[in-house]
Amino acid sequence: MAIVLGNYTFDETRTTVTEKWDEVAGRDARIIQIKGVVDGLASPELLATALDAILKAASEGEEHTVLSLRSGRRLYVRRTGSSREIQRDALVGTFVLTLETQNPFEESETVMNVAWSITESGGSTLITAAGSAPALPVIMLTAIGTVMEPCISDGTRQIVYPGIVSNGKSLVLDSAARTAILDGLDVTPYTTGLFPQLMPGGTTLVYTDSFDSSHRVTANVAYRDRWW
């Protein structure tokens, strides 16, 4: 498939990509190098403009440029190095673009959504994630009646909000951001435990709450598949 960086699509017949994992500032990072050739333009000036567009396709700042190397997947990258060369007589340009992401996982472009109707403490649902790395779900719990001390477990990790979710209010547990938001209010400091993950192949999520709860919740589990 064609390689797409931001709004720029590379000519796959004239472009090569290499990837490696490295440690940057104590964190795992994926280093990506894109090399290619540009030709078929009428002047050195047009070549220079085309090469400039390639080198500027990714920002040098924060990792907010989307890179797609494989169909249906994406990474957020920033530019850490670049070079270009123009052979004026032959009207051929070459470029090297070095990109880095400190979140080295690819994720699916499509968000998966699983509806989950909870009617009892101990209710569960099986979610099958693709990919080769754990997915980080965003779980929205909307209370029907009064829900007290809601907890979500994946069998290994569990996150507990030791408070009340009133009828019609929603508690959003975001495993990627590691936040808990109750009706727009950040209640993360009050939670205990670890945020759930969805393992490739299948994970059973279990909901529990306190004895005095209504035990009735409308839930939605949103996630993106991830790959190493």
Residues 223, 121 share a domain: yes
Which CATH number characterizes residue 16's domain? 2.40.30
Which CATH number characterizes residue 204's domain? 2.60.120.860
Total domains, the chain:
2
Q: Which burial class, exposed, middle or buried, applies to 1 when counting CB atoms under 10 A from its CB (0-12, 13-18, 19+)? A: exposed
Contact assessment for residue 85 and residue 94, using Cβ atoms and an 8 Å cutoff? yes
**Residue finishing a domain among 104, 124, 155:** 104
pLDDT score, position 27: 75
pLDDT score, position 25: 67
Range of the domain at 37: 4-104
Residues 222, 119 share a domain: yes
pLDDT score, position 123: 97
**What are the average pLDDT values for consecutive 10-residue runs of the chain, which has 228 residues?**
90 92 76 94 92 86 85 92 91 94 90 97 96 96 98 97 97 97 97 97 96 97 96
Name the nearest CA neighbour of 171 among 179, 163, 182, 160: 182
pLDDT score, position 145: 97
